[in-house]
Structure 1
Amino acid sequence: MSDLNLFDAWRITHPNVRDYTFISGVHLTSSRIDMIFVSKPILDVLSHSSIQPIVISDHAPITISFIPPCRRWRLNNYSIKITETQKIEAFVSVNEGSTNIYGSVWETLKCYLRGWFLSHNTDRKKDKVRKAEEYLQNIKSCEQQMRLHPSEATWAALLESRAAYDDLALEQVEFLINKTALCYSEQGERSKLLSLRFKKQEAAHVIPPIKSEESNSLITDPIEINKSFARFYFKLYTPEAEAMSNIIEEFLKPLTIPQLTEEQRDCLEAPISEAEVLATIRSMTSDKNA
């Protein structure tokens, strides 16, 4: 990893701590086989890394945190779903007539709503974090109880906590998906970001030319390229036993290979008799007869 200038994020932030990301129930062993490697520029803004409890997968997830960069505030679309329109109406009713410059009222309203959004989103985020920590703590407790004193009630409580945690995780995934979609569609129909990304992905999986095995020339026609691949794999997986039968026969002809007699063949093919079984058992050492 040092040659690639990559660093183990968790080990950098926990140089003297021992923790694991996988527990083998078969071998009763633990190991840290899941890692997040970061480059030097990312390492400079890395603030924290932690190994979470094993919840959804059979491996523990690893989280890393960065020092957030300075950026402009943007409205969270999820806030619009829970915004009360009465707040806007109340603000307008209180401030209407206070000035003849409606632009000032509009700018003040934007500042008021921005502050309300920030406050509400902060409370909502704290509530999610609190619930997630509570669910994870319950999961840890139930897992510990299942190891020591397993019961159906504990198992049911464990499944309930896992389901609640999964709901929070799915909500976060939905938010990130919508955020990604917004990044590609916020400029309207004229936005080319998404189409360009698809074109790059498609180009990465396209083989523009190949060299013909017969004529040693470049082939650019997609149909001919497919035919060339078909011929190559047909030849690759065609058995060569028929072509090599003469060579094998010539190789074996001068060799003197011993053959079984009819009596030996009949003896080998005959069923094992009871006398043979008893003789084999008697020939074994005493500690093998049990």
Structure 2
Amino acid sequence: MTDTSITPQARSFENDAQFGDYFALLKPRVMTLVVFTAFVGLLAAPVPVHPFVGFCAILFIAIGGGASGALNMWYDADIDAVMKRTQRRPIPAGKVTGDEALAIGVALSVFAVVFLGLATNWVAAGLLAFTIFFYAVVYTMWLKRWTPQNIVIGGAAGAFPPMIGWAAATGGVSIESILMFCLTFMWTPPHFWALALFMRKDYDNAGVPMLTVTHGRRATRVHILVYTLLLAALAIATGFTQVGGPVYLTIAIVLNALFVRGAIKIWRRDEDMAEADNFAVERKFFKLSLLYLFAHFGAILIEAGIDKLVVWL
């Protein structure tokens, strides 16, 4: 008979950690977005990059993103243990110790920054170092537990990868890479606030001051609509820049029409309506937001030229 009185923390490290447990520290799902947007930034740049150099750049950017995830899990272990969505992560599940996660995060951070600098240039390495610092320290240790604007400001951490990819190719920053940064930055709040609408109890129990907790769901719905409208204007305007074009513009118009429509539906709902169908509209909007960013950056990749991609493959 299992002793259910023993918490996961008390049973910690009863089982040996597997490779998958250490890999999970790197937040592979988040890393997928980091890798893809960095890859698009690299190929969209007007400077050709040798495939091997480009591969190394993306690899080290991915490792840096994973290092950020490990540091985030180390510091947020107490929150992760409370939230249902995160209870199975390696540290609260008792698979990996906090000290191990910290050591892995620090080691991979140094490795990724140094080798990105050696493989490409130190502007890209500096941006990667700042991204890791911003996510692990500014967002995780400060903003997340202090202000309902945590996602708004902290979203910058996830918006830097295309700038890093661009810098790896060009050695600098330009208006095009800033626009790609802004696209991800403005997408982050409605994306996470939609999640927070149907996961409010998790954040409430963990004491995380998400907008849904501090200002309520009604205010969150208004914020989602406002940010979605601003995002749509930015996304469509990007179609008229160097990284845009007819393919991008077509995809942006269609997707942003759907996104704005979804935000309006969320704005019009009250809590009785949402709870009656288990937040079906909010969940649909959240799923659409995942497609939204990949489709926009995929369109930028197409506009950059399939010929560049063929060279890589």
Q: TM-score range by the shorter chain?
A: under 0.3
Ranked by relative contact order (alpha carbons within 8 Å, sequence separation 6 or more), the top structure is: 2
TM-score normalised by structure 1 residue count = 0.27
TM-score normalised by structure 2 residue count = 0.25
Identify the structure with the greater helix proportion: 2
Identify the structure with the greater strand proportion: 1
Highest CA radius of gyration, 1 or 2?
1
